[in-house]
Structure 1
Amino acid sequence: MENQNTFNPKVSQDVSNKIVIGLERISEVFKLLLWKKAKHIGLSPIQIQMVTFVAFHASELCNVSHLAKEFNVTKPTISDAIKVLEKKGMIFKDYSPIDQRSYTIQLTENGKEIVAETSDFTSPLKAQIDSLDATELDSFFNTLSSLIYKLNQSEVLTVQRTCYACKFYQKTNDTSYCNLLQAILKNKDIRLDCPEFVAK
């Protein structure tokens, strides 16, 4: 069994295994950078991710149920984070006029300042990606966007808003087209988080 383990360095690994190991290391970089920023400003990583998400997404996505799916955590974990953020004056609950038990999360001015303060935590990672040439970037992004879509289709990734899964997306031969924008999409135009996304 151990000889089949992707992380066993003694095994002659194929390229797929090496890519999995590479992705695991990149995910560790992301977590490390997020933790450093979190400790610096006195928030947890999930709290930073939540305020950042709320800042840039439609209000209907900023509720406990969706946030739990978005970050692959339990509803109680999201509720606990909301309590802390509310206590720190970074968010407020916008209750539904129809059902007072239902609410969305909105940012206060303090919350918006925190989003601005934490916006650079990925800079060391982005700097290395920026150093790739245009061909490498295009190939890397094409592979990454396809992988995200396939992981969603196999229900490993629960939430995504990429063009490939949108009802407005159409592919004919090798040409991608957005029926909402009424435009041909080049590889670089494919979005991983589209605000106009509507599931097929």
Structure 2
Amino acid sequence: MKKISGFSPEQQLTSLDARLLLSLQRLSDMLKAMQWEQARILGITPLQLQILLFTGHHTAEVNKVAYIATELQLSRPTVSDAAAALVNKGFLRIEEDLKDRRSYSFLLTDKGKEMLTQAEQYIAELDTILQKRPLMEKASLYQTVYTMIAGLYDKDKGGMQRMCYSCAHYEGNKKRQHACRLFKKKLLSAELQIDCGHHSSLTIPDIL
């Protein structure tokens, strides 16, 4: 059997898998282009936009260079330079860790909060499209995408996924049965989290 290729027009004619692979690639490319265009409009780099989006929606506990670098799968110096530029622009401020003077976090300034609102606008059109889709269709799509992300995730290759499947609080068979020990409740597949603030890995010392 010929290997499936999402880039082959011939296979796309007969293979749903090939069409799905190409569709995911196209969607990724479109979102990246939209993000880059939004960053250009705002006068910042795409990386700075990503850091704004992350720090604007996470706590000081994880808004540290080491953690953000793991999140974005980039080197610490690269993230440190981009974050420092945002500090110089007045969008971020540095907050020292009272428990460890060598550690510090990045938090949004009032100016940064205004910028964050604008930075998020690049997904507005996609959000509008999703809102118009039926709930069951979105739940099925989310379950499929979630399973794909979980299947691709490899902690040894870097990156950070604060998702249920990699959390110590998760209980289930990763198929039809899911539960969270922390919140003591059963979860539907569409309720599985992909960026949970209560993820067990937040307590790992070497990434804080």
Please tell me the TM-score bracket, short chain as reference.
0.7 to 0.9
Ranges in structure 2 where 5+ consecutive residues have no aligned partner: 202-208
Following superposition, the deviation at residue 145 of structure 1 comes to: 0.9
SS in 2 for 1:95: strand
Encode CA deviations 1:19-74: one digit per residue, 9 max, x unaligned: 22111111111112112211111111111111121111121211111111111222
**% identical aligned pairs:** 26
SS in 2 for 1:177: strand
> Relative to structure 2, which stretch is displaced further, 145-154 or 53-62?
145-154
| CA distance in structure 2 between the aligned counterparts of 1:131 and 1:157, rounded to whole angstroms | 35
Tell me which residue corresponds to 1:83.
84
Ranges in structure 1 where 5+ consecutive residues have no aligned partner: none
Counterparts of 1:35-114 in structure 2 under 5 Å?
Answer: 35-97=36-98, 99-114=100-115
Contact 1:148–1:157 (CA<8 Å) still a contact in 2?
no
TM-score by length of 2: 0.84
Tell me which residue corresponds to 1:24.
25
Q: In the superposition, relative to structure 1, how do residues 10 and 73 fare at CA in structure 2: closer, same or farther (>3 Å)?
A: same
Tell me which residue corresponds to 2:124.
123
- How many residues were matched structurally? 197
Of structures 1 and 2, the one with the larger relative CO (CA 8 A, separation 6+) is: 2
Q: In the superposition, relative to structure 1, how do residues 11 and 143 fare at CA in structure 2: closer, same or farther (>3 Å)?
A: closer
Contact 2:170–2:178 (CA<8 Å) still a contact in 1?
yes
| Matched letter for residue 180 of structure 2 | C
| CA distance in structure 2 between the aligned counterparts of 1:120 and 1:11, rounded to whole angstroms | 36
RMSD: 2.3
SS in 2 for 1:59: coil
| Matched letter for residue 135 of structure 1 | M
| CA distance in structure 2 between the aligned counterparts of 1:30 and 1:68, rounded to whole angstroms | 21
The answer as to 2:7 corresponding to 1:7 is: yes
